[in-house]
Amino acid sequence: MIINDDAFARMVAEEVKNKLSPLHKKELMKRENWEKWRDALLALSENLGRQIEDIESDSKSDLSRYSALGRAGTKLGREAGSYYETKATRIKRFKFHVDRRLDEVAVMISTGQEMQNDGWEQVEFLRRAIARHRAMLRDFDLEDTSIDRSLWDTLDNKWTFDDIDVDSL
């Protein structure tokens, strides 16, 4: 499968978020993609670092500008500071995961061995897919079926597929 650089970069970001399909994850795990994967993670990490710096700079500028407005500006400064802090925290958290994955890929390259996956990533991926299925049915006001409900029951470790009355479908 040939993947252009932009699509590959999006795949890398989605993989860090654990939102990449198992098929695409397999593509990343191919040995010939490891260095490209590392480079994409490095570029992503650097981009996130610049975003954090920009946010901190914008926060300082706004705080300075708002403090010149007196009491009203103090309130605006606090609100803006809270906004910037929340945004920076989210980006820092994502950057942490990007850097962790970068370390893992670097180890793969240096040892020549794939990361060991204990299967929990795929389990979590499937759990999110089932939950999203339920949310979409509700969001679009679609009627659920006994098959849908049995699928959702699996999230609670209940197997109710055998209880489905095929005649009522």
List, for residues 121-133, the tens digit of each pLDDT value.
Answer: 667 778 888 999 9
- Predicted structure pTM score: 0.66
Backbone angles phi, psi at 119, to 5 degrees: 95, -15
Assess whether pLDDT exceeds 70 at residue 116.
no
pLDDT over 60 (residue 110): yes
Phi-psi bin for 112: left (phi > 0), alpha (psi -120 to 50), beta?
A: left
The residues spanned by each domain of the chain are: 5-114, 121-162
pLDDT tens digits for range 122-168 = 677 788 889 999 999 999 999 999 999 999 999 888 899 888 988 88
1: pLDDT strictly greater than 80: no
Cβ-Cβ contacts under 8 Å for 65 (sequence gap 6 or more): 73
Shortest CA distance to 102 belongs to which of 47, 52, 39?
39
Name the DSSP class of 2.
Answer: -
Residue 19, helix vs strand vs coil: coil
CA 163 vs. chain centroid, Å, equals 35
In this structure, are residues 12 and 28 in contact, taking their beta carbons and an 8 Å threshold? yes
Closest C-alpha to 104, from 47, 52, 45, 53: 45
The pLDDT of residue 118 is above 60: no
Tens-digit pLDDT profile for residues 52-104? 999 999 999 998 888 888 888 888 888 899 999 999 999 999 999 999 999 99
41 with 12: CB under 8 angstroms? yes
CB-CB contact of 13 with 56 (8 Å): no
User: What type of residue is 119?
Assistant: G
Check: CB of residue 108 under 8 Å from CB of residue 115: yes
